[in-house]
């Protein structure tokens, strides 16, 4: 069979099965654990909707809009979402409450259009994060040499932080801030130096958190003999 008959057969199959709308890009959505999120659905203004089917790993719910002022019909088919989902009119965007880690993942909305007898598909990728708590700081220092040079290592961490967390240290001197990327900062101090303040900042896609400022000098000045080292947590 030549190329043209095959092309006609393919077009007929697509016409009977619907247009999947593969050209639509996936929307990346960030949400907060145990809070709520809406996945916005775009409906063509000049089209009449027959039904909307929401999927996440499997069929989540089917929405049939009402006619003539009558309410629509909503059927939630995935037990995991029972009592936690609603559909915001007039577009029937998906609203999920009391989010859990298991709600992360891909979602699709298949919009079946009555007038044109095709369907479009909109794709989402939901990421669930925890709001960050105040960072915990660990200070390690060692005093060496006759001048009492103090070498310090400042480490910043957050309990149960989850994924996609970035850390940075901010040092303050005479009102000027300098940023240092990463969760660990190495620095030094000698008697007579200005005492710098250091603050750890952590962030993820849904929140930011900062530690209280800590001064470098008091960890070192006159507290240990040369060659001695210690740890301190704050």
pLDDT in tens, 54-102: 999 899 999 998 887 778 899 999 999 999 999 988 889 999 999 999 9
pLDDT in tens, 139-197: 888 887 766 788 889 999 999 888 899 999 998 876 778 899 999 999 888 877 777 88
**Which pLDDT score, from 0 to 100, does residue 224 have?**
43
Q: In sequence order, what are the residues at sequence separation of 6 or more whose Cβ sits closer than 8 angstroms to the Cβ of residue 227?
A: 142, 143, 144
**Which pLDDT score, from 0 to 100, does residue 100 have?**
96
Boundaries of every domain in the chain? 18-129, 136-233
**Which pLDDT score, from 0 to 100, does residue 97 have?**
97
CATH class of 18-129: mainly beta
**Which pLDDT score, from 0 to 100, does residue 222 have?**
52
| Same fold across 18-129 and 136-233 | yes
**Which pLDDT score, from 0 to 100, does residue 23 have?**
55
Rounded to an integer, the average pLDDT of 20-32 is 78
Radius of gyration of the chain (CA): 29
The C-alpha atoms of residue 45 and residue 42 are separated, in whole angstroms, by: 9
pLDDT at 18 > cutoff 70: no
Please indicate whether residue 118 or residue 146 has the higher confidence score (pLDDT).
118
Give me the architecture of the 136-233 domain, per CATH. Sandwich (2.60)
Please indicate whether residue 190 or residue 122 has the higher confidence score (pLDDT).
122
The C-alpha atoms of residue 85 and residue 36 are separated, in whole angstroms, by: 10
Global confidence as pTM: 0.75
> Any idea what the Cα angle at residue 76 is, between residues 75 and 81, rounded to 5°?
165
E strands present in 19-89: 26-32, 37-39, 49-56, 58-64, 73-76, 85-88
Number of Cβ atoms within 10 Å of the Cβ of 173: 11
**Which pLDDT score, from 0 to 100, does residue 150 have?**
84
Tell me the β-bridge partners of 177.
Answer: 172
> Any idea what the Cα angle at residue 96 is, between residues 93 and 98, rounded to 5°?
165
| Band (114; pLDDT cuts 50, 70, 90) | confident
pLDDT in tens, 199-231: 999 999 999 999 999 887 777 765 443 333 444
Please indicate whether residue 150 or residue 29 has the higher confidence score (pLDDT).
29
């Amino acid at each position: 069979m030549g190329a043209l008959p095959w092309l006609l057969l393919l077009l007929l199959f697509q016409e009977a099965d619907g247009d999947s709308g593969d050209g639509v890009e996936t929307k990346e959505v960030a949400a907060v654990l145990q809070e709520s999120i809406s996945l916005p659905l775009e409906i063509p203004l000049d089209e009449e909707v027959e039904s909307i089917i929401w999927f996440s790993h499997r069929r989540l719910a089917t929405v049939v809009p009402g006619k003539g002022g009558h309410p629509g019909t909503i059927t939630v088919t995935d037990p995991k979402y029972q009592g936690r989902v609603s559909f915001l009119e007039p577009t029937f965007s998906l609203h999920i409450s009391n989010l859990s880690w298991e709600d992360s993942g891909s979602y699709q909305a298949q919009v079946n259009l009555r007038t044109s007898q095709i369907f479009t598909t909109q794709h989402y990728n939901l990421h669930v994060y925890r709001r960050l708590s105040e960072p915990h700081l660990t200070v390690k220092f060692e005093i060496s040499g006759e001048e009492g040079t103090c070498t310090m290592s400042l480490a910043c961490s957050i309990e149960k932080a989850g994924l996609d967390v970035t850390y940075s240290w901010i040092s303050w001197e005479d009102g000027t801030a300098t940023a240092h990327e990463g969760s660990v900062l190495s620095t030094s101090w000698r008697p007579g130096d200005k005492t710098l303040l250091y603050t750890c900042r952590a962030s993820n896609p849904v929140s930011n958190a900062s530690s209280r400022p800590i001064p470098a000098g008091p960890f070192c000045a006159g507290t240990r003999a040369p060659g001695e080292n210690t740890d301190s947590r704050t």
